[in-house]
Amino acid sequence: MAVGMRFDDEVRVNILNALRKPYSIQPNISKIQKLTGLHQLTIKNSLKFLKQEGVVLGFIPNVSPKATGIRLVTIMLLDIDLTDKETFNHFMKHALTDPFVFSVNRIIGSSNWNLMIEFISTSVEEIDDNLNKWFFERIPNIASYVRNKQILYCVPAVHKSGSVYDAAINLLLEKNKKNKNNEEKGMQADDAVRVKILDTLRKPGALSINASQIQKYTKYHMSTIKASLKFLKEKSILTRVLPNISSQKLGFKLMPINIYVVDTSNKKFMQALNNAFKEDKNVFSVTELVGELDWNLVSFQLYEGVKEFHHDQNYKYLEKIKNYYSGVRNRMTLYASGPIVELEEKGKTVKYDSGSRSVALVNVLAFKQGLK
């Protein structure tokens, strides 16, 4: 290991940054064939189809928030004036280019909120400073445009940790298992073969890092790249590489977010609630909250629609957990309709990175190094 090597120095950050670029991470067709038993031509055609359909958006490094120290997630709920299109585009451009932002979602339904922005940072002070620099100091009349806001901080004490990708694939696997008579009618993103390939892409060895491509992006010596990748893996900074997928393209167009006030002193209830979260395949993240008001827990879920969500809330929680309403003192449900990833700018549609915490972690590290 090189003396003085750090995960956040210029060389290591440049290499992490290069991993997000085209062809730096590629599917290992031979490994996928061994894991699936499918013909190589089937695998190649399926991957091509999934990319063309916008299901697979690319391949990204999975960077550990804990190992980097950038582990505070901030949720900002906003009520903004959606009729002011010019200010909306101005506001959204700042949100989508802010390195600390990893997800921007429209909120639909009966809630007073219509936008949710998720940030990452090392501290509350850093995120407050970032909000001032990227939004309040740059956008004219923002005080009148943002009619109301609420900020919640997700603390590191996580009850369930996962990704939208894992949740979407797990739900599709469950769906295909129930529908044993699922016959392929042409190539579809959610048919058994494509789901099998999507599932396999998250297994060890299914994706490979192309060091030669990283060398083209960074101009570093191959030995520097290999030593850096080894260091990042040994320090658990780079935990794995994985596909960046669109859950919406797989049919999961709704992300319900339950924000709770729960009685944490009731140990039996909390144990029952945690067990329900762990068993619920639609739930991919549960974490504790601090901040404004009394909210102290938030869960993120993935569903095809509102009807299925309401059915599951009754079946998985209200009917199964004894004295549910004595433990849950209050609950607010928000419906996120999917990440905003494109804007109309000067008559053209401009696409931005979709919500990914790992990509944001690399963005923040690159921003701190002054890299693009």
pLDDT in tens, the chain (372 residues): 455 789 999 999 999 999 999 999 999 999 999 999 999 999 999 999 999 999 998 999 999 988 888 888 999 999 998 888 888 888 888 888 888 888 899 998 867 899 999 999 988 898 888 888 888 888 878 888 899 999 999 987 678 888 888 899 999 888 877 766 555 556 676 788 999 999 999 999 999 999 999 999 999 999 999 999 999 999 999 999 999 888 888 999 999 999 999 999 999 999 999 999 999 999 999 999 987 679 999 999 999 999 999 888 888 888 889 889 899 999 999 999 877 766 666 667 666 665 677 778 888 888 888 776
Q: Which domains does the chain have, with CATH numbers?
A: 1-251+344-372 (no CATH), 252-338 (3.30.70.920)
CA torsion through residues 96, 336, 118, 89, sign: positive
Provide the pLDDT for residue 288: 93
| 202, two tokens | 């998250």
Query: Any idea how long the chain is?
Result: 372
User: What are the residues whose beta carbons fall under 8 Å from the beta carbon of 152, sequence distance 6 or more?
Assistant: 74, 75, 76, 77, 259, 289, 290, 291, 292, 295, 298
Question: What is the model's pLDDT at position 320?
Answer: 87
pLDDT recorded at residue 309: 92
Angle between helices 40-52 and 192-200 (to 10 degrees): 90
Contact indicator for 87, 338 with CB cutoff of 8 Å:
no
